[in-house]
């Protein structure tokens, strides 16, 4: 049992929504299901089945951001049973430790801003230890300064790495579901054709900043009626991207979520072999049709206890993942295979929350799912990482890439969405989507609320970190235009006016030697 206090700058305990967010993970950031009790004075008693653990809470930090996930790992040592933790103080101390590690790598010369913020964080923390009355205010101010300093450190290091390494191959992409903006579209949920406005300027805009596109290979669209695959719309998209010289990826070949599955799949079962049989048939037919045209495929999507509509065991889910990968290799040995995952920090597992399927004592998260896939000897090319508005600072994201880079695979940032202004969630959203958008994907980074400049700032910093990691091979913005899956996350408004993020991406790519407008 750990005893944890989360104190606001005035010395009072944090509001209830922050207290109940606290959870423990192992040292690989894999959460344990949250088991906590909150006393009347706000003190949290938190159970952790094994030690050491990292602590995580979603809190607001004055001068930095609101509803942001903050971690404290006791300076890399983790916490043992019986620990008494002042969370804000320890999170500030852990962040200072992380910044020192980045700087001590001697890959860059820290800027005066980075160092002054670090000194500020260190001084404030010392003041907190010598003044118990003002300690909560000093701790919170130290944490804020440390978050700013840590982001400056990893961005400056990233820029130094890029300068030192020079230009490298990179896939910059977006969802290409409406390309070439010629008026033809198709609904993912119904498979029915939709007439959109013809927008040749949007095709030109797409071509000017992207060399990679994701196509909607949802089974509900590929084969809405059993035994009658319909590739007409995908052929239309693929032909257009071929003509533009843009590399494509099919997403996804299997997804156990009702939004992407046709009615005839409901009777499939793992136990009688029918599921594997139909996976092999549909993947084989699809890849034979697109062989030599579509280069990458998301073999499976979110198959780590998040989308498990067939109530498979964790061993069965892992086996299905390997089966999808094997079917791709058998059908087209030249295809590049991605295993797509979501919720990279796994906070949903602490909640015991899934979209479809059972909840276990310890649900799979992307890290543990990939460990299991690796243990089976699965031969795949890249780990797909969805990172919709993760409500984590840039240093935490940089550390995320290091953790997943340990698998020795390429990393593809497959789905990104960052708000450009506050807006309501669409009324037809499913309960699972509401959970994602209101909790998992909600956080205000750096300011009082999201705006177009802040969206562009986030994207620029994120792209810079990604490009500095040689294991990161692809970045995909999910929505070209609003409304977007994350509301207001498009690079263009719903009226097809460009936002600052569009121009920021274009100029950033040019600074690295990419100019797709001259393709």
DSSP helix/strand/coil, 492: strand
Residue 414 structure tokens: 């497959």
- Asked if 156 and 186 sit in the same domain, the reply is no
Residue 456 structure tokens: 């562009």
- Asked if 272 and 417 sit in the same domain, the reply is yes
pTM above 0.85, yes or no: yes
Residues whose CB falls within 8 Å of the CB of residue 303, separated by 6 or more in sequence, listed in order: 254, 255, 256, 317, 320, 321, 339, 369
CA 398 to chain centre: 12
Q: Last residue of a domain, which of 134, 164, 194?
A: 164
Task: Using alpha carbons, select from 14, 148, 63 the residue that is nearest to residue 22.
Answer: 14
Residue 424 per-residue DSSP state: P
Residue recorded with tokens 């295809």: 335
Residues whose CB falls within 8 Å of the CB of residue 18, separated by 6 or more in sequence, listed in order: 6, 57, 58, 59, 60
**What confidence score (pLDDT) does residue 519 get?**
63
- Asked if 156 and 190 sit in the same domain, the reply is no
Residue recorded with tokens 């494509």: 248
Phi first, then psi, for residue 454 (nearest 5°) are -65, -40
- Residue ranges for the chain with pLDDT beneath 50: none
- Asked if 463 and 495 sit in the same domain, the reply is yes
- Asked if 316 and 435 sit in the same domain, the reply is yes
Q: Last residue of a domain, which of 123, 148, 164?
A: 164
Q: Last residue of a domain, which of 164, 199, 218?
A: 164
- Asked if 344 and 234 sit in the same domain, the reply is yes
Range of the domain at 412: 167-518
Report the alpha-carbon angle 43-45-46, nearest 5. Answer: 130
> From CA 440, how far away is CA 344, in angstroms rounded?
11
- Asked if 66 and 132 sit in the same domain, the reply is yes
> From CA 401, how far away is CA 54, in angstroms rounded?
18
Alpha helices in 199-290 (DSSP H): 200-209, 219-222, 232-244, 274-290
Residue 180: cis peptide before it, omega within 30 degrees of 0: yes
**What confidence score (pLDDT) does residue 191 get?**
64
Phi first, then psi, for residue 3 (nearest 5°) are -110, 120
3-state secondary structure 61-97: ECCCEEEEEEEECCCCCCECCCCEEEHHHHHHHHHHH
**What confidence score (pLDDT) does residue 224 get?**
94
Provide the Cα torsion 208, 209, 211, 217; round to 10°.
-100
- Asked if 129 and 206 sit in the same domain, the reply is no
**What confidence score (pLDDT) does residue 513 get?**
97
- Asked if 207 and 63 sit in the same domain, the reply is no
| Count: domains in the chain | 2
Domain harbouring 366, CATH code: 3.20.20.80
- Asked if 396 and 484 sit in the same domain, the reply is yes
Residues whose CB falls within 8 Å of the CB of residue 275, separated by 6 or more in sequence, listed in order: 268, 269, 310, 320
**What confidence score (pLDDT) does residue 188 get?**
63
Which residues sit opposite 184 in a β-bridge?
195
- Asked if 180 and 328 sit in the same domain, the reply is yes
- Asked if 155 and 265 sit in the same domain, the reply is no
């Amino acid at each position: 049992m750990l005893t944890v206090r989360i104190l606001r700058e005035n010395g009072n305990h944090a509001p209830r929504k922050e207290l109940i967010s606290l959870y423990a993970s192992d040292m690989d950031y894999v959460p344990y299901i949250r088991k906590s009790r909150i006393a009347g004075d706000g003190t949290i008693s938190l159970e952790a089945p094994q030690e050491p653990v990292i602590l995580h809470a979603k809190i607001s930090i004055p001068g930095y951001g609101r509803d942001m996930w903050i971690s404290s790992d006791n300076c890399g040592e983790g916490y043992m049973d019986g620990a008494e933790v002042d969370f804000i103080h320890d999170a500030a101390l852990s962040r200072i430790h992380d910044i020192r590690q980045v700087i001590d790598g001697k890959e860059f010369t820290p800027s005066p801003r980075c160092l002054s913020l670090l000194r500020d964080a260190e001084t404030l923390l010392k003041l907190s230890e010598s003044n118990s009355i003002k300690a909560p205010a000093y701790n919170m101010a130290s944490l804020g300064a440390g978050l700013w300093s840590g982001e400056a450190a990893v961005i400056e290091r990233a820029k130094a790495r890029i300068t030192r390494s020079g230009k490298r191959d990179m896939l910059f992409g977006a969802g290409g579901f409406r390309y070439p903006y010629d008026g033809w579209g198709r609904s993912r949920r119904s498979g029915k054709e939709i007439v959109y406005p013809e927008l040749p300027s949007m095709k030109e805009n797409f071509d000017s900043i992207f060399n990679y596109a994701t196509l909607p290979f949802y089974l509900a669209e590929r084969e809405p009626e059993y035994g009658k695959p319909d590739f007409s719309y995908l052929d239309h998209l693929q032909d257009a991207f071929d003509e533009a010289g843009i590399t494509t990826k099919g997403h996804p070949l299997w997804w156990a979520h009702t939004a992407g599955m046709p009615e005839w799949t409901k009777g499939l079962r793992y136990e009688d072999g029918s599921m594997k049989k139909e996976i092999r048939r549909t993947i084989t037919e699809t890849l034979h049709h697109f062989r030599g045209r579509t280069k990458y495929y998301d073999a499976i999507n979110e198959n780590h206890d998040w989308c498990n509509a067939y109530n498979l065991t964790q061993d069965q889910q892992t086996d299905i993942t390997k089966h999808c990968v094997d079917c791709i290799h058998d059908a087209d040995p030249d295809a590049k295979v991605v295993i797509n995952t979501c919720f990279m920090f796994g906070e949903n597992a602490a909640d015991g929350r899934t979209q479809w399927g059972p909840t276990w004592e310890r649900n799979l998260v992307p890290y543990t799912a990939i460990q299991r896939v690796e243990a089976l000897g699965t031969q795949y090319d890249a780990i797909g990482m969805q990172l919709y508005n993760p409500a984590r600072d840039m240093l935490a994201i940089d550390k995320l890439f290091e953790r997943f880079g340990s698998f020795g695979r390429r990393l593809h940032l497959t789905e990104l969405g960052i708000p450009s202004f506050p807006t309501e969630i669409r009324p037809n959203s499913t309960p699972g989507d509401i959970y994602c958008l209101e909790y998992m994907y909600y956080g205000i980074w750096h300011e009082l609320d999201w705006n177009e400049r802040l969206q562009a700032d986030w994207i620029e910093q994120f792209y810079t970190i990604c490009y500095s990691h040689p294991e990161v091979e692809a970045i995909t913005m999910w929505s070209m235009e609003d409304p977007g899956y994350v509301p207001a996350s498009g690079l263009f408004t719903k009226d097809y006016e460009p936002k600052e993020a569009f121009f920021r991406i274009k100029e950033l790519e040019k600074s690295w030697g990419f100019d797709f407008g001259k393709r």
